Structure 1
Amino acid sequence: MQLPISLGNQGFASLRENHCFYIDKTDFIREWWEEQDVVTLITRPRRFGKTLNLNMMECFFSIQYKDRSDLFEDLSIWNDQKYHELQGTYPVISLSFANIKGRTFEETKRGILQILVKLFSIHSYIKDDKILNSEDWEFINSVNMDMPDDVASLTLMYLSDYLSRFYQKKVLIFLDEYDTPLQEAYIHGYWDELTGFLRSLLNASFKTNPYLERGLMTGITRISKESIFSDLNNLSIITTTSEKYSQQFGFTENEVFKALKSYHLSDKESLVKSWYDGFTFGSQKDIYNPWSITCFLKEKLLKPYWVHSSSNALISKLLQISNPETKMILEDILNGGCLKTEIDEEIIFDQLEKKRGAIWSLLLASGYLKVSDRSFNEKRGRFVYSLELTNKEVRLMFEDMIRDWFSEDSTPYNDFLKAFLCQDVDYMNDYMNQVAASTFSSFDTGKQPSDSSHPERFYHGFVLGLIVELSDTYKITSNRESGFGRYDVMLKPFDKSKNAYILEFKVHNPRTEDSLKDTVSKALLQIDEKNYDAELIADGFREEQICHFGFAFEGKHVLIG
């Protein structure tokens, strides 16, 4: 029987009560409980079941659900008798920062305060004079939207105290999407203010809280310990490369194929695999994106679901302003290549634009890259990871992101490409001067930009645009050896009857060149003198098929010849 699919429903009880489609992840309860870690942080990409799993944990452990064993009776956890006795026996504090996306620190802080105040309202049944003393009442009455930071930082610890007295048992604290406001703080520029506020709250809740039995947090990234977990030495961190809980977030291939069979879609297995498979957690490969799978089961259409379900503004910003080396690596990855690198999974947001390789750690944590292989470097004592694009859906996300870099209505990129392929130099020059003026600043770091740094940053972003638009018909490479040097860009058609192209970018040197025309001439001369045609000639292209273009830059002015 095909169960109804309730898209976006992250309530475990609701899914079970209404007999909706659900893949059993209750083994997570057993695994987490038997590990006996005091505080656990689990990072997974967005929409990988973190919220649903935490709600499942609340339904299982919370005293508020002590009479709801029916929610678990036909699931894996119920096969073990000892968990019958554990269900519904703990006071639970559950909160989520998923919707805290303020553009200012004040807005974000207010959102967090609203959550804390609401928690005291939810647990207002503890207001019993037999349990609370005058000091307790004084603190409870101070918990409001105007409470000072020192009161706010103690709210979860004090609430834990009141609940543990009320139930005569220590509490469990579940915090979902702890890093959502932190990512917003980085994007909008109030990182230091927010980390100071959250550091006090989290340390008081999870480190110095004597009323805590266990804590569980989820998020997308592992924020550096120095940023917000400086005093939290009892934290067990589970990232995408960790072995623990590797099958408990996301769907395994067996689970996906079983679901496809239930919905009479088994004939789509290979297509579904190419679109939505590819995630790797620990050594567990073939993990599928659950949001895309459930959307496909409901709509029965192969299209991007997950990558279009939220903004990728942070990733886009970091890639757009990244250095030429990063853009070159992305070129290789988009062309089906692989990056071998060490990964530091501890994200230091205020160093993302400066720390070498940080962008790849963020892309891996976010699910946009997958680990295809890893090896241990004994000399350095570190793992070296092989990273590739995760799947077809993610590739489409990158393509859309790069298109947006050139999406000004006044500068139609597709028209430029048509002119480029037709060798319409006049239109190409008009376009390039428009797009250079509007995008040069975006492709620079914004910190003491120099005219000499503009072209290299820009042209690698420009090449990514070429790859996105022309990769079906051309192999596009940059900064590769050919002849006696390294060309800037080469477009090699898969159809050898078509023309091939070599592009050379040069910055105008006023000491040796009178005009941009001289710079263009020097670029074209370099293509000839360095024999950049050699690779194409060796591949069977005739000289008359190979077109040369010189791009000359002077500030934000461009000349193509």
Structure 2
Amino acid sequence: MAKVISIGNQSFESIRKDNCFYIDKTSFIKEWWENKDNVTLITRPRRFGKTLNMSMLECFFSNKYKDRGDLFEGLEIWNDEKYRKLQGTYPVIFLSFAGIKQVKYNETVIKIKDELIRIYNEYDYIMKSGIYNTNEKMQYQSVCVGMSDTVAQEALKNLSNYLSRYYGKKVIILLDEYDTPMQEAYVNGYWEELVAFTRSLFNSTFKTNPYLERAIMTGITRVSKESIFSDLNNLVVVTTTSNQYETAFGFTEEEVFNSLDEQGLSDKKDIVKTWYDGFTFGDKKDIYNPWSIINFLKFKSLKTYWADSSSNGLINSLVQKGSPYIKTMIENLISGEKINVIVDEQIVFSELDYSEDAVWSLMLASGYLKVVSSEELNLIRESDNEYELALTNREILFMFRKMILRWFSPAKHETNEFIRALISSDIESMNEYMNDVAFNTFSSFDSGKHNSERKAPENFFHGFVLGLMVDQTENYIITSNRESGYGRYDIMLEPIDKTNEKYPGIIIEFKVINPRKESSLEETVAVALKQIEEKNYDAELIKRGVKEENIHHYGFAFKGKEVLIDGR
């Protein structure tokens, strides 16, 4: 019987106790422990199981979970007798900065201090033991509301001292989503202030802490060493391009396909792969984002679950405000092309405003781009930091289309009007809408750095029109640049309900005027429509059950900012 899928549950204890759906990642415990690294920073995109894995580590190592081997029975780690004896034997400090998203510096520091107070309250029973002197008890009590920055910055080191003496063992520290406050600081303009505070906190906790056994930090980005890790020479950094812990975060294809079998969705493997595969960690390809997979398993419908699970505000801002070069590269990515760029995985947030390379580094770390690995690429690239990148998968493609739609399209009502016009063959309304978009927005992308100036309008509007279609996924199967008949159509909309004539099959062809062959947009649009017929693009729709008389053809012709749409 398929296990219940608990959406948003990041508690390992809760998932195991309630026998909920869980993909075994306990081999990560052994891999990390046997690497014997003092402090490890692991970066992965958001919603990739970082918090759940940290909860798993706490349940395994923390003496709060002594004699709770039942949580690990049946899992891989429990097959090793050595690790059975290790479970529940260490004092563990587990804290998270995931919820620290304040817009002001003072509010952020208060939230960090609140997290420290919570940890201290959790262990205040040790002060009753009698092994601490008066000064130490006063020092413990100084971690309270209104504490100074200095007290806060030394708090984790001091707590490590108290716990190691109480339990007779050095402590393990787990810090989840360490960089969330840093991203908010950049967005809201208090980066330098927070860097100074955080640097002292981290150096005290991870560098000059003699009571530390080991530590793990997780986050999305690798914030530059010069910023907050300036004195940490004991730090091992594992990024998305590193060959460590490649399968510990995210689901492998085998794990996804087994889960689909378990949930009775074996016939969905190909479409799930198209939508959600594509992440690459180190040399390991075919990694899926867990958030989209567990939502698909539960709700059994294809949606942009991961892409829609946050505002994507920082990426949105950087691309929208970026140079024409950045916009051109995004356009190329949306068109299915790859880009070659320099990637420095040490994110320097203060450089994001003027360093174009920093934008690609952030997008790679955040999961929007993937490294296209090949031996040939390694041989021909000019720099060790040069990578060939592509959009990760279809889900990310749809995210960027919707992002651009929000920038450039008129109000949502007008977008809906365009879709209604498209479905009902209201050519006049389609032309009015698209020419308004062209006049008001196209210059934003007309940078003069396209691979082909003549193809620029066609590429842009191809992606733009696809973006308009995103909300129609309940009514249509939307495909682009696929083979049908004797050629490759630009856009095809296949109605899900073939019997409902309200939703016709739709084929769209884009053409830029060729002055050597055509003297007007009318001639160009006629060429587009003729191509649809001569190449028999209807063949695929008819094969899938759409009636020939219920298929609409549209030609989109472009000349600079002028657009002409016609159909039959």
TM-score, length basis structure 2 = 0.79
Unaligned runs of 5+ in 2: 468-477, 482-488, 493-505, 531-554, 563-568
- Structure 1 residues 239 and 26, CA, compared in 2 at 3 Å: closer, same or farther? same
Residues 499 and 404 of structure 1: CA distance in aligned 2, closer, same or farther (over 3 Å): closer
Task: Give the RMSD, CA atoms, in angstroms.
Answer: 3.7
Counterpart position of 2:391: 389
| 2:511 is the counterpart of 1:500 | yes
One-letter amino acid of the counterpart of residue 300, structure 1: K
What residue in structure 2 maps to residue 344 of structure 1?
344
- Say yes or no: does 1:39 pair with 2:39: yes
2: CA distance between counterparts of 1:366 and 1:82? 36
Give 2:473's aligned residue.
none
Corresponding position of 1:485: none
Q: Which amino acid aligns with 2:11?
A: G
Match of 1:469 among 447, 465, 480: 465
Cα distance, 1:546–1:131 mapped onto 2, change above 3 Å: closer
Question: How has the CA–CA distance of structure 1 residues 378 and 461 changed in structure 2, closer, same or farther, with 3 Å as cutoff?
Answer: closer
- CA 399–59 in structure 1, closer or farther in 2 if over 3 Å, else same: same
Query: Aligned in 2, Cα 1:399/1:551: closer, same or farther, shift over 3 Å?
Result: closer
Matched, 1:99 2:99: yes
Whether the 8 Å CA contact 1:416–1:431 is kept in 2: the answer is: no
Which amino acid is 2:364 matched to?
L
Match of 1:400 in 2: 402
User: In structure 2, what is the equivalent of residue 56 of structure 1?
Assistant: 56
AA aligned to 1:105 is Y
Give the Cα–Cα distance (whole angstroms) in 2 for the partners of residues 381 and 426 of structure 1: 48
Partner Cα distance (2:415, 2:31) in 1: 52
Mapped to 2, the partners of 1:310 and 1:76 lie a distance apart of 33
Alignment-mate amino acid for residue 467 of structure 1: G
Alignment partners' CA distance in 2, 1:89 and 1:137: 25
Give the drift of 1:501: 3.1
Does residue 82 of structure 1 match 2:82?
A: yes
Go from structure 1 to structure 2 and tell me whether the alpha carbon gap of 1:461 and 1:174 turns closer, same or farther (over 3 Å shift): farther
Corresponding residue SS for 1:127 = helix
Between the aligned partners of 2:359 and 2:89, the Cα distance in structure 1 is 43
- Displacement of 1:499 in angstroms is 7.1
> Secondary structure of 1:85's match?
helix
Contact 1:63 1:92 survives alignment (8 Å): yes
Does residue 115 (structure 1) correspond to residue 115 (structure 2)? The answer is: yes
1:115–1:422 Cα change, 3 Å: same
Tell me the CA shift for residue 42 of structure 1.
Answer: 0.4
- SS of match in other structure, 2:128: coil
Matches within 5 A, 1:93-492: 93-128=93-128, 130-374=130-374, 375-376=377-378, 382-409=384-411, 412=414, 435=440, 464=460, 467-470=463-466
Instruction: Note if contact 1:206-1:232 (Cα within 8 Å) is conserved in structure 2.
Output: yes
Q: Deviations over 1:34-53 (max 9, x none)?
A: 00000000001111110000
Q: Partners of 2:284 and 2:404 in 1: how far apart? A: 31
Q: Name the % identity.
A: 50
Structure 1 residue aligned with 2:498: none
Please identify, of 15-24 and 299-308, the stretch whose mean Cα deviation from structure 2 is larger: 299-308
Runs of 5+ consecutive residues of structure 1 not aligned to the other structure? 445-451, 476-490, 503-526, 553-561
Q: In the aligned structure 1, how far is the partner of 2:212 from the partner of 2:342?
A: 36
Amino acid aligned to 1:91: P
Distance 1:249 1:413 in 2: 38
Deviations 1:132-185 (A, max 9, x none): 112212211211121111111000000000001101111000000001111111
- TM-superposed deviation, 1:203: 1.0
Pair 1:335–1:362, CA change in 2 (3 A): same
